[in-house]
Structure 1
Amino acid sequence: MTTGRLEAFSDGVIAIIITIMVLSLQIPTTPDWSGIRALAPKFVSYILSFIYVGIYWNNHHHLIFNTNKVNGNIMWSNLAFLFTLSLMPFSTAWMGEHQFKMNTTILYGIVLMSNAVTYGILSYFIAKNEGKNSEFVKAIGGGTKEKLSIAIYLLGITVSFFEPYIALVFYYIVALMWIIPDKRLTEKE
């Protein structure tokens, strides 16, 4: 399979994920601003998730662009990544609907961590397929940013048991870490 085909399929799945997330936003029940205020938790959840899906879409593009060949391990790990990413609309809607209650922020953090882990697995299989002396492996390096992200997700999940709103701060911190495309891969383009 070509990398273009893998990227096109992934782009389609990601577009559907974003569409499902926006469709879960309800129209306010009143024509005044109180209706918008009542939906604020859903908007906050949606904005955070939209940022995350956008970050993954952007970095996934750079990851695949810098991949020379695709094998079965890459295809299956890409599907695993897309599966965990497809859980974003559900966890986003549940967290927003229930105004960031403990269980909802725990699940949201678990989904975020699952996204990071499966994306890391995808990167691992690409690196393995490209070869240990490849430009790809040199660009990726040791994965410090990835490990730090997972540690912050774990911290956010733990904090969710006590202060769910503070957990959101940790989730936003990771998003801010990744909002700029991963320069390790974009510099090759």
Structure 2
Amino acid sequence: MAFGKSRIEAFSDGVIAIIITIMVLEMKVPHGESFASLKPLIPVFLSYIISFIYVGIYWNNHHHMFHIVKSINGAVLWANLHLLFWLSLIPFVTGWMGENHFTQLPVACYGFVLAMTGTAYTILEKVLIKHSGKNSLIANVLGRDWKAKSSVVIYAAAIGISWLSPVISFVLYGVVAALWFIPDKRIENKLTRETTEIKE
């Protein structure tokens, strides 16, 4: 059974907005009034920045992906909830990592949550493609998503490296964020080409 996608988009937007709100509330206002009082907050602020970028990336790509599907089904709803579940854990691991100044276990757990979030996003892609059909726009545009697969591999490597150097792991998380920072141009390019063909 297929039905409209407006509610899943609105719900997802709301959950992601709450996730960002929770993250910023984790940054407690310092009691002092000097720059020195801000120094203990630097790790928390750094972890907030990268997590904000990650959540923003997922929201951006989620928006693009749902823009090219015409309908959804129950499987898509559950796959989307699965993605939101892992996204909702980002504020916890972000705060834990920042409060403990990027020590081994918090950094490894942060990577685990990112890896599971990336896996959940890939599952959502596959479920949407299956629902829409192999000849659908989303199937033609996304196909084999090398960025998603390579991201999970980098996350796995970063988790292992975190026991040796949490700083290197944090840098690897930044590398993955850089890969995804620009929204998937395949979707925009495909829509632009179709619009041009219609006008001609």
TM-score (norm 1): 0.98
Show the counterpart of 1:143. 145
Q: Which moved more, 1:101-110 or 1:1-10?
A: 1-10
Indicate if the aligned counterparts of 1:3 and 1:65 stay in contact, CA closer than 8 A. Answer: no
Displacement of 1:55 after TM fit?
0.3
Aligned partner of 2:13: which letter?
A: D
- 2:115 and 2:123 mapped to 1: Cα distance? 12
Tell me the TM-score normalised to structure 2 length.
Answer: 0.93
Bigger Rg over Cα: 2
Percent identity, aligned pairs only, is 47
How many pairs does the alignment contain?
189
Q: C-alpha offsets along residues 67-105 of structure 1, whole Å, 9 cap, x if unaligned? A: 111101000000000000000000000000000000000
2:127 corresponds to: 125
Gaps of at least 5 residues in structure 1 are: none
- SS of the residue corresponding to residue 39 of structure 1 reads helix
**Residue pair 2:142, 2:186 contacting (<8 A) in 1 also:** yes
- Counterpart of 1:87 in structure 2 is 89
Q: Residue 133 of structure 1: CA displacement?
A: 1.3
Q: Distance in 1 between matches of 2:92 and 2:4?
A: 31
Offset at 1:57?
0.4
2:46 maps to 1:39: no
Q: Deviations over 1:128-178 (max 9, x none)?
A: 001011121010021111111111111111110110011000000000000
Query: Which segments of structure 1 move beyond 6 Å, counting only runs of 4 or more?
Result: none
State the partner residue of 2:164: 162
CA contact (8 A) 2:93 2:109 kept: yes
Equivalent positions of 1:9-88 (< 5 A) are 9-88=11-90
Q: Is the 8 A contact 2:69 2:137 kept in 1?
A: no
Cross-structure match for 1:111 = 113
**Contact 1:105/1:168 (CA < 8 Å) preserved in 2?**
yes
The partner residue of 2:187 within 171, 185, 188 is 185
